[in-house]
Amino acid sequence: MKTRLFTLAAFGALLAGPAAAQSACETPPVARCSGAECATSPVLANLGDVTDPKTGRSFFLDMPCDLKPGEEVTFILNLHGAGSIGNWQRHYFPAADYKDQRRLVIATPTAATETSMWPGGAAVRRWDGEADDAHLQNITEMVFEKVGLANVAAFWLAGHSQGGFTSSRIVCSDFFKDKVDGWLSLSGGRIGQAPFVAAFGPPLADGSPPPPRTAMRGEMTIACDISHIFAIGEHEIESLPDTSPWAEKYACGPRVRRPDVVDDQPGHVWDYARSTYKVWGLAAAPGTAEIFAWSDCQDGRVVADVVRINKGHTEGLEPKVTEAILDLIQSAPGGKARQGI
């Protein structure tokens, strides 16, 4: 393991002082595990190495170990789904694995609210309410301050499941609408919805599929300008639409199927307690992903769909498909947050 300590001389007190408790940068990232070891490892319960001083809540902040003053970065705010926590999300969408070579800053927090997802269901941790929204705003301001707003080349919201729906809820809010350049939905809704299968959800205690549900969520309204990437497991949806109202909004050219992404390595994590139902997700395994992107979108916007073949809701993303998604993110226009400087 290579470890580099930040100092005041190295990066202008980047992580010093009461705003952030992190004192070291590590490559590979801190608090990591992979595969079956994660099922019993205590590291997934770690809530983070940085503290939001306004709330006292911890979160992870992964960034290049050799980041220099004035260097541009892509900032991703990475939100977990209901019933999960930040460090599981950090393994599910492992952008932190590429922080150094791609110059990424990734903040991965944990929701504080515990409410039921379904009528009569057990309370689970999920993004809900003003307290969580304020925490996400605090994190964003901390990153802008510490990295330097002028150095944020692009800012994306990413979220899995309910974290994806939360991203769609806040992306055009007063705080985020003039800051966020794109929304990555990881099984968390699509602009121009791809309908979830009727029996979507975790398996029952005996491993059988859950009962069919009514519509998961209707069409969403996004009223600001962003790029949009939708990534989904093949078994989660009835079908992937071949049209996109978001592509129509930006007068994009034809949808193009790019070469498939073939991974010979699995993702880091899955739902270890409930891996018996393919819609919900089995054990992480190598896989193939299909990528569809609309061409020649106005202002260079990226509008794309990624379908992970033979995958469900919870298998962590494999290395090459993660990089393919990061390619899409970093090919999109950015810099909205710094336009007012």
Give the Cα separation of 263 and 274 in Å (integer). 24
Is 42 buried (19+), middle (13-18) or exposed (0-12) by CB count in 10 A? exposed
Structure confidence at residue 119 (pLDDT): 54
Q: Which residues contact 262 (CB under 8 A, 6 or more apart)?
A: 288, 320
The per-residue DSSP string of 114-158 comes to EEESSTTPPEEE---SHHHHHHHHHHHHHHHHHH-GGGEEEEEEE
What pLDDT does residue 157 have? Answer: 98
Tell me how far apart the alpha carbons of residues 180 and 109 are, in angstroms, rounded to a whole number.
Answer: 17
Q: Are strands 287-294 and 182-186 parallel, antiparallel or unpaired?
A: unpaired
For residue 321 the two structure tokens come to 């498909």
Q: Is 290 helix (H, G, I), strand (E, B) or coil?
A: strand
pTM, 2 dp: 0.92
Partners of 196 in beta bridges: 237
Predicted confidence at residue 340, as pLDDT, reads 77
Do 246 and 306 contact (CB within 8 A), yes or no?
A: no
253 burial (CB, 10 Å; 0-12 / 13-18 / 19+) is: exposed
Helix H, strand E, coil C: the string for 250-263 is CCCCCEEEEEEEEE
Query: Residue 66 is part of which domain span?
Result: 2-338
Q: What angle do CA 56, 60, 62 make, to 5 degrees?
A: 140
Q: How far apart are CA 271 and CA 282, in angstroms?
A: 8
Report mean pLDDT in 10-residue bins for the chain, 341 residues: 30 36 66 94 94 96 94 98 96 97 97 71 83 97 96 98 97 98 97 95 93 74 96 97 98 98 98 96 98 98 98 98 98 95 79
Q: What is the pLDDT of residue 121?
A: 65
pLDDT of residue 13: 33
Split into its structural domains, the chain has a count of 1
- Scanning the structure block, which residue is given the tokens 């350049």? 181
For residues 243 and 235, what is the distance between their CA atoms, to the nearest angstrom?
20
